[in-house]
Structures are given as C-alpha cells and as structure tokens.
Structure 1
Amino acid sequence: VEQAARAASVARATAYRYFPNQRALLEATLPQLTQPSLLGDAPPEGAAERLGLVVEAIVQQAVEHEPALRTMLRLSLQPDRGDRGDLTFRKGRRITWIGEALEPLQARLTRRDFDRLVHAIAAAVGIDALVWLTDVAGLRRAEAVEVMRWSSRTLLRAALDELSNG
C-alpha cells in the first residue's frame, strides 16, 4: 500500500484510508474478479461453447494480471492473518463461472458428477494452474495457456463420453 501511495503521489494516510491492506488494494485492481458472469449478454446454448468462453476469460485474466494474482494466491495460502480477511480470490468465483457455463449439462449429470466436473475444470485453469505450468513444468506462457484450454475441453469430453457409455 505504501508503494502504491508513493507511485500515485498521495499521502500514506490517504492510501490506507481507501486500502487498509494489500488485499484491499489488490482487489481494487482486479474488478473483473467480482463479475457475476463471464458469459456475456447472449451466451451460446451449448455447454462446450459456453465453457470455451469462460475458460478463455479466466485464462486471459490469469495472464493479464499474473503479478497481482500471484500475490493474491500467496496471500490466500498464508495462515490466517488479520490482513487476509475475506479474499475475493478465495470465494470460488471460478467454480461459479464454470458451473454457469456447464448449466446445460445439469439435467444430464448427477449432482455429484456435475460438481466433480466443475471442480476438475476449475483446478485445471486459472492462476494456480498457470503458476504450476510455468514455474514447475517449465512451459512458456503460451504453452501453459494452450494446456489449460486443452485440459478443460478434454475433461468436458471425458464427462460426456461417460454419459454416452454409461
């Protein structure tokens, strides 16, 4: 917060009035994290197309805001501290967005299978997947993005195949 105050040429007290901690400052820089939907005004009807839109938005957020999201990820992994609070990052927005994308499948899948698919895809896309793919697996960002897209499509296809082969 102090660095942001210096960069913005405002008093520290002013900065802390609006952003009492690093979490609040990070959340203010990432307003799209609070979007209720990533599907837009006229979403497609098919689950695959809807999922493609949502995954693309999640992946682009991760790439475009990687430094801030890495910081939020780090904060979310710290033991409970007063400045961690109710991190937007920890509210499961990705699960909500992916669940909404897959709504056309809800009638065809059991609740357990639907939730499992949503959670599997959520684990395969986003900042945590990007960090692992680049830092641990050693992929370039473009490769990591393609792996996240491929993973989401493959998981959806596997779930649909299970339905067909029942």
Structure 2
Amino acid sequence: MDYSRQEGFVAGGRENQKQRTRQTLMDAAIALARDGRSPTIAEVAAAAKVSLATAHRYFPNRQSLWADVAIMQNWTARTVGFDDLPADPEERVDRVVRALASAQLGDEVLWREVVRASADRWFAQLDIPESDRTPTRGTNRLDLAALALEPLREQLGPRQFQRLVQAMTMVFGAEAMISLRDTARLDSESAIEAMSWAARALVRAALAEHAER
C-alpha cells in the first residue's frame, strides 16, 4: 500500500531514502501530536531534523500530512484486527468496529488532530466549486464498512447494501469517537460498546426492512 499523496516525487530515484524521510516526518508529527501539540510543517521538519523545503516536497500543508497519517494508521489497525472475519454479518461488524475503535481510542490525541486537519481542509476550500474540491477524508471507513457487511451484498441488493454501508460510517470512526467522548461523555470502553451496539442495530434494521419487501 503506497500511502503517499506525492507519488511522482516519492517514485523517483533513491526510493528507500525518500520513504525513510517521509516516514520520519510522519513519526515526528505523531510524536508532537501525542504531546498535545498541533504542529506546523515547519515544526514537524525541525523535529524530524530535515529542511523545511524537503518537508514541503512530501507534504505541502498540514492537511496532506494528516491525511497520510490517517491512512497509515487505519491500515495498521486493519492488518492487526481484521484477519479471519466470521461469516455472520453482526459478528463481522462487531469485530471491525471494535478493532478500529480500540486503535483510535488508544491514540485519541492523534485522531483528534486528524479530524481537525480535515476540518481545516474543508474551510480552506470554501471558495472552490464543490465538484473541484479535494476530499477532506479518504475512503477507508467506507471500505471497512463494506468489508464488514460483505456477506449481505447479494442478499440486500446494490442499493440497499450501499445505503447500509453509508449509514454504517456514522457509527464508528474518529467523529463517532469524539461525539461519544465529548457529547455523551463516555469512557473509552463504554464508547466502544455504544459503537458496536449501533452498528449491530443497523444490520438488524436493514435485514428487517429487507424481509418486509
């Protein structure tokens, strides 16, 4: 999986060195975020001991940096928690939601920084036609929801399956974590339970609706 948005640059010569530099920059950003900082690219470059010009060749702005960090962290969680998923849809959803929620709640400061950078990207594009805007978030959550719900694809049909996948993105992920922690004021364990309950309830609702057709 190539996480970089700067594919043309990274794919050039000295591939291994460039990948190490890119990883060093992301590691520095993560370390600063975990210390409660919201670092600029200049601060990340200083912490990584690389020049600002070099850092900008990999990450022209904070949004691009945190978008790549989010992809890297999500795929790390996926490789840890999503092997040998059960066939039962509710059990699959429960496994996926719990794995991602545990990873994100275990690194809450980092994921709040990802959400903040996503909001910054949205505001930065207010004057750009919506059709021309760069997406503020990737598709990883959609992909994970589709993975969890895969056994229902044929049973529900394309339209109902897609609607369930889309609805599932509301009940897990970083934004759901923040809502449950800040609005519902739940501790980490209770937040995970709430996400799992909501995800399983969506599966049951979709199946009940399908049975009535």
Structure 2 length-normalised TM: 0.63
> Which SS does the other structure have where 1:91 is aligned?
coil
Given the alignment, which residue of 141, 154, 173 partners 1:126?
A: 173
1:94 is matched with which residue? 141
What letter corresponds to residue 6 of structure 1 in structure 2? A
CA shift, 1:91, in A, is 2.6
State whether residues 177 and 191 of structure 2, in contact with CA within 8 Å, keep that contact through their aligned partners in structure 1. yes
State whether residues 45 and 51 of structure 2, in contact with CA within 8 Å, keep that contact through their aligned partners in structure 1. yes
- Mapped partners of 1:70, 1:32: distance in 2: 13
| 2:197 equivalent to 1:160 | no
> Which SS does the other structure have where 2:85 is aligned?
coil
1:105 is matched with which residue? 152
State whether residues 56 and 149 of structure 1, in contact with CA within 8 Å, keep that contact through their aligned partners in structure 2. yes
Which deviates the most, 53-62 or 121-130? 53-62
1:29 is matched with which residue? 69
Deviations 1:46-79 (A, max 9, x none): 2223222221232134223433332332333332
Given the alignment, which residue of 16, 20, 27 partners 2:56?
A: 16
Given the alignment, which residue of 91, 112, 116 partners 1:70?
A: 112
- Mapped partners of 1:155, 1:126: distance in 2: 15
CA shift, 1:137, in A, is 2.0
Name the % identity. Answer: 35
State whether residues 33 and 93 of structure 1, in contact with CA within 8 Å, keep that contact through their aligned partners in structure 2. yes
State whether residues 98 and 118 of structure 1, in contact with CA within 8 Å, keep that contact through their aligned partners in structure 2. yes
Aligned pairs for 1:30-69 (under 5 A) are 30=70, 31-33=72-74, 40=82, 42-69=84-111
Larger Rg: 2
- Give the 4+ runs in structure 1 shifted more than 4 A: 37-41
Q: CA RMSD in A?
A: 2.8
> Which SS does the other structure have where 1:20 is aligned?
coil
When the two structures are aligned, how many residues end up with a matched partner? 162
Structure 1 length-normalised TM: 0.78
Given the alignment, which residue of 123, 138, 141 partners 1:79?
A: 123
> Which SS does the other structure have where 2:155 is aligned?
coil
- Mapped partners of 1:41, 1:145: distance in 2: 20
2:194 is matched with which residue? 147
Higher relative contact order structure (alpha carbons within 8 Å, sequence separation ≥ 6): 1
CA shift, 1:32, in A, is 3.7
- Mapped partners of 1:79, 1:23: distance in 2: 11
